Amino acid sequence: MSDTANVMATIGPPDPGEPTSPTLTAPGDIAGRSPSGTSGIEGRTPFQLAWQRLRRDRVAMISLAVIVLIVLMAFLAPLAAVITGHPVNEQYRTTGLTPDGLPRGPSSEFWLGTDDLGRDILVRIAYGSRISLLVGVASTALTVVIGVVIGLAAGFLGGLVDTILARLIDVVLSVPFLLVAIALVSITGPSLIVTVLVIGFFSWASVARIVRGQVLSMREREFVEAARSLGSSNSRIMFVDILPNVLAPVIVYASLLIPVVIVVEATLSFLGLGLAPPTADWGGMISEAQNYYTTSWWFVVFPGGALLVTTLAFNLLGDGIRDAFDPRAERLMAK
């Protein structure tokens, strides 16, 4: 085994900090892989390249289409209420419940059945998508902003700032997230803002760690030296010169974080810490359905299916984005 280790030592791990500066892309390098096979007179940015690769990824494109549909559903939720004629919080105690007071299954009146209070599940799913998407995107955005700023500062400024921020990252990564999130929400009382803030404030550390690592390897490169010799300020170098170069892994991470956040939000709702009733929210709907799963399968299956399709679509798209930004993976697989 020792000879194995030596061989590995000489090869070493692949350099994750390969520069992807939009301005430094060599056209010759990409010409072979561009679909049109052009001579590559105009250099494409890594983002254009990634988009080209992503566009050829059928699974990712289908996922993107599904996500667009879900976004449309969120925007057009009131339309669902108009078409079915059932307002989101309206309880149909006579038509929507069986004589025993149980939810009614799918029918021409209630396409996806009703819940325990006789409300239309279809309309509530449509409204619930707003909460999931809003929390998913807002929390992820907050996470990325905090993580990028702290990661940039730690990696670029170094010294005492880096020591303190690196310890802070360690502390946040050691916090039992779900427990503390539940405790916080139970104190402040659930609301959309609290959910977004709690998720954002406990998730940035991973982003910060990725960015810090990238910046550390970027800091010593020639283009940073060049910027400095031109008299650029620290903040200009950080945000104008370095930031675009560390963005690719952040975008990949963020795209895969959205489904995680959507699940966390649904989990909080499921544990009774979601938005106050009667707000329609997928996790909350599944939580209510938990007591009826033996009699009313549709009550669990449709909100659960909506949640699953959403997270699956985001995960598949995130996977595609990761592959698109990492042409090395493609080469490895095509070996």
| 290 near other proteins, rule: CB under 8 A | yes
Region of 280 (left: φ > 0; alpha: ψ -120 to 50; beta: rest) is beta
| 297 near other proteins, rule: CB under 8 A | yes
| 174 near other proteins, rule: CB under 8 A | yes
CB of 150 to other proteins, least distance (A): 16
| 182 near other proteins, rule: CB under 8 A | yes
Of 41-49, 198-206, 246-254, 267-275, the segment contacting other proteins by CB under 8 A is: 267-275
| 332 near other proteins, rule: CB under 8 A | yes
| 2 near other proteins, rule: CB under 8 A | yes
Q: Of 3 and 42, which CB lies nearer to other proteins in the complex structure?
A: 3
Subset of residues 235 to 264 that bind other proteins, contact rule: CB under 8 A: 259, 263
CB of 321 to other proteins, least distance (A): 14
What residue type is 303 in one-letter code?
Answer: P
Sequence-separated (6 or more) residues with CB below 8 Å from residue 333: none
| 308 near other proteins, rule: CB under 8 A | yes
Subset of residues 201 to 240 that bind other proteins, contact rule: CB under 8 A: none
| 187 near other proteins, rule: CB under 8 A | yes
Of 140-148, 184-192, 212-220, 245-253, the segment contacting other proteins by CB under 8 A is: 184-192
Q: Of 135 and 266, which CB lies nearer to other proteins in the complex structure?
A: 266
| 188 near other proteins, rule: CB under 8 A | yes
Q: What is the 3-state secondary structure (H, E, C) of the chain?
A: CHHHHHHHHHHCCCCCCCCCCCCCCCHHHHHCCCCCCCCCCCCCCHHHHHHHHHHCCHHHHHHHHHHHHHHHHHHCHHHHHHHHCCCCCCCCCCCCECCCCCECCCCCCCCCCECCCCCEHHHHHHHHHHHHHHHHHHHHHHHHHHHHHHHHHHHHHCHHHHHHHHHHHHHHHHCCHHHHHHHHHHHHCCCHHHHHHHHHHHHHHHHHHHHHHHHHHHCCCHHHHHHHHCCCCHHHHHHHHHHHHHHHHHHHHHHHHHHHHHHHHHHHHHHHHCCCCCCCCHHHHHHHHHHHCCCCHHHHHHHHHHHHHHHHHHHHHHHHHHHHHCHHHHHHHCC
| 9 near other proteins, rule: CB under 8 A | yes
Per the document, the length of the chain is 335
Residue 204 · residue 147 · CB < 8 Å: yes
Q: Site for other proteins (CB under 8 A): which residue of 52, 149, 319, 327?
A: 319
Subset of residues 115 to 154 that bind other proteins, contact rule: CB under 8 A: none
Of 76-84, 205-213, 218-226, 306-314, the segment contacting other proteins by CB under 8 A is: 306-314
| 307 near other proteins, rule: CB under 8 A | yes
| 279 near other proteins, rule: CB under 8 A | no
CB of 221 to other proteins, least distance (A): 25
Binding residues (CB under 8 A) for other proteins: these are 1-5, 7-9, 11, 14, 167, 170-171, 173-176, 178-180, 182-184, 186-188, 259, 263, 266-267, 270-272, 283, 286-287, 289-290, 293-294, 297, 300, 304, 307-308, 311-312, 315-316, 319, 329, 332-335
